[in-house]
C-alpha cells in the first residue's frame, strides 16, 4: 500500500516529548525526532482537568498566549493513527490540525505540522490567562498524572 509509507510532521508540546511520561508511544511507533520547534503564532497552552493534562487551545493570537515550544517528529500513516487513538480524536478529546512552526535548529526553517488541540469547550479555561504557559517542562510535568497512574476506567465519560 503506497499510503502506508507516507510521512507526516507532528508537533509535540506535552507528554509525548523526549523525557516525558508518554514518550514511549513515540518510540513504539518509530517516530523520528527532527528538531525542537516553536509555534509561529501564539496559542494558549495550559494544564487542566483532574489529570493536569497539558493542552493547546486552537485560539491563535489569543491575548496573553505564547509561542509554544515543543518537538517536531516525522511519523508514518500508522503512527499518525496511533497518535489519533492516544489523543482521543475519535472521542472528541482532541482534534488534529495543521500549524506553522519555526524549527530551532541551525536552519531555522518554517514548517507546517500536525498538532493536537483541545476539542471540548474552552471558554472558561481561556478566562484566566495567568494559567497559560509557553513550555511544558519538568516543573509542569510534576503536576501531570500519567495514564498508567489513573484508575482503569479513567477515560469513560460519566
Catalytic (active-site) positions: 87
Contact indicator for 131, 47 with CB cutoff of 8 Å? yes
Specify burial of residue 92 (Cβ count, 10 A radius: 0-12, 13-18, 19+).
exposed
Whole-angstrom distance, CA of residue 2 vs CA of residue 13 = 30
Residues whose CB is less than 8 angstroms from the CB of residue 89 and which lie 6 or more positions away in sequence, other chains included: 95, 96, 116
- Contact criterion met (CB below 8 Å) for 66 and 42: yes
Residue with the three cell numbers 471558554: 123
Q: Which DSSP string do the residues of 133-144 spell out, in sequence order? A: -S---HHHHTT-
Amino acid at each position: 500500500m503506497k499510503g502506508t509509507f507516507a510521512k507526516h510532521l507532528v508537533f509535540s508540546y506535552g507528554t509525548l516529548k523526549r523525557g516525558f511520561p508518554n514518550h514511549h508511544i513515540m518510540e513504539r511507533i518509530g517516530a523520528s525526532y527532527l528538531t525542537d520547534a516553536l509555534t509561529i503564532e501564539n496559542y494558549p497552552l495550559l494544564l487542566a482537568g483532574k489529570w493536569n493534562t497539558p493542552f493547546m487551545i486552537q485560539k491563535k493570537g489569543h491575548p496573553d498566549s505564547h509561542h509554544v515550544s515543543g518537538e517536531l517528529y516525522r511519523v508514518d500513516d500508522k503512527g499518525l493513527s496511533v497518535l489519533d487513538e492516544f489523543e482521543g480524536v475519535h472521542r472528541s478529546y482532541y482534534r488534529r490540525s495543521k500549524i506553522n512552526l519555526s524549527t530551532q535548529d541551525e536552519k531555522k526553517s518554517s514548517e507546517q505540522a500536525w498538532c493536537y488541540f483541545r476539542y471540548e469547550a474552552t471558554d472558561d479555561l481561556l478566562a484566566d490567562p495567568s494559567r497559560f504557559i509557553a513550555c511544558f517542562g519538568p516543573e509542569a510535568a510534576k503536576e501531570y498524572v500519567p495514564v498508567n497512574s489513573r484508575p482503569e476506567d479513567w477515560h469513560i465519560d460519566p
